[in-house]
A and B are shown apart, each in its own frame.
Chain A
Amino acid sequence: KQEVTQIPAALSVPEGENLVLNCSFTDSAIYNLQWFRQDPGKGLTSLLLIQSSQREQTSGRLNASLDKSSGRSTLYIAASQPGDSATYLCAVDNNDMRFGAGTRLTVKP
C-alpha cells in the first residue's frame, strides 16, 4: 500500500527566502506525482504535475523534481512571498491517488 510522507509538517519563513518542501513515497510504480496548494477552507489548486518519465517541472517561481528510484520529490519555491502562505500537498497516482498530509507554509512579511 502506497504511503506518502511530507516533511516538514509546518514551516515559517521570512519573505524573500528560498525554500524546499519534501515528499517521499514508498511505491515507485506511479503514473505521476502532483503538487497542490490548498488555502484554508478552500479546494485544491494544482501547481505542478510530473509524469513518471520526467525528472522535473517548472512554473514561475516553482520547481518540482521527481526521483522515482529513491521515492522522493521536492518542491522548490524561490523568493517566497506572503501570498505563498498555504498548505502544500503532494499526491502520487498509482491505481488510486494517495496524498501526503501536507506542509503548512507561512511566509512572514
Chain B
Amino acid sequence: EAQVTQNPRYLITVTGKKLTVTCSQNMNHEYMSWYRQDPGLGLRQIYYSMNVEVTDKGDVPEGYKVSRKEKRNFPLILESPSPNQTSLYFCASSSPKGTDTQYFGPGTRLTVL
C-alpha cells in the first residue's frame, strides 16, 4: 500500500530536549516536505527536499533541521524544542515537484512543555 508514515504520532517533551520525528514514504517520490498546522494559521511549510541531499527552507524553518540521506526518509529534527513549536506536524511526498499530488502522512502531535 502506498503510504507516508510518521513516527511518533504523539509526543510530549520538555523544552530543550532534542527530538526527531521520522518520515518515510514507499512510493519512490523525489519530493518530500514538512508542514506544521496551527489553529488560525493553517498549514505552513517548514522545509522541503527536491531529492536526495537537496533541501530548502519553506515558510517557517526557524528552530528546525532536516536531512535527506535516502530517498525514502526525511526526518525532522528539533535541536532545542521550545513551547512555540507545540503543533501538529505533517510530512508529505510527491513525484517531481509540480507534476503530481502530494500524499500526506497521518500527522504527529507534538507538545513542548
Footprint of B on A, CB under 8 Å? 31-32, 34, 36, 41-46, 49, 51, 89, 91, 93, 96-102
Taken together as a complex, chains A and B put the C-alpha atoms of A44 and B16 apart, in Å, by 30
Answer whether A96 and B107 are a contact pair too, CB < 8 Å, given A46-B102, A101-B42, A102-B42. no
Would you call B101 an interface residue if the criterion is a C-beta within 8 Å of the partner chain's C-beta atoms? yes
Interface size on B, residues (CB 8 A): 24
Q: Is B98 within 8 A of A96, CB to CB?
A: no
- Nearest-neighbor residue (CB-CB) of B91 within chain A: A43
Q: Is A43 within 8 A of B98, CB to CB?
A: no
Kindly list chain A residues whose C-beta atoms are within 8 Å of the C-beta of B68. none
Chain B residues 54 to 76 lying within 8 A of chain A, measured CB to CB, are 58-59
Kindly list chain B residues whose C-beta atoms are within 8 Å of the C-beta of A102. 42
Answer whether A97 and B104 are a contact pair too, CB < 8 Å, given A89-B43, A102-B42. no
17 contacts between A and B (CB under 8 A): A34-B102, A41-B107, A43-B105, A44-B90, A46-B103, A46-B104, A49-B100, A89-B43, A91-B43, A96-B58, A97-B35, A97-B43, A97-B45, A97-B48, A99-B43, A99-B44, A101-B41
Answer whether A42 and B106 are a contact pair too, CB < 8 Å, given A89-B43, A96-B45, A100-B42. yes
Kindly list chain B residues whose C-beta atoms are within 8 Å of the C-beta of A34. 101-102
1/0 contact string of B76-92 vs chain A (CB within 8 Å): 00000000000000101
- Nearest-neighbor residue (CB-CB) of A97 within chain B: B45
Residue from A51, A97, A98 within 8 A of B102 (CB atoms): A97
Kindly list chain B residues whose C-beta atoms are within 8 Å of the C-beta of A98. 45, 59
Would you call B33 an interface residue if the criterion is a C-beta within 8 Å of the partner chain's C-beta atoms? yes
- Least Cβ–Cβ distance between A97 and chain B, in angstroms: 5
- Nearest-neighbor residue (CB-CB) of B98 within chain A: A31
Q: Is B98 within 8 A of A32, CB to CB?
A: yes
Q: Is B97 within 8 A of A44, CB to CB?
A: no
Taken together as a complex, chains A and B put the C-alpha atoms of A91 and B43 apart, in Å, by 9
Answer whether A43 and B107 are a contact pair too, CB < 8 Å, given A31-B98, A49-B101, A97-B33. yes
- Least Cβ–Cβ distance between A40 and chain B, in angstroms: 11
Q: Is B42 within 8 A of A93, CB to CB?
A: no
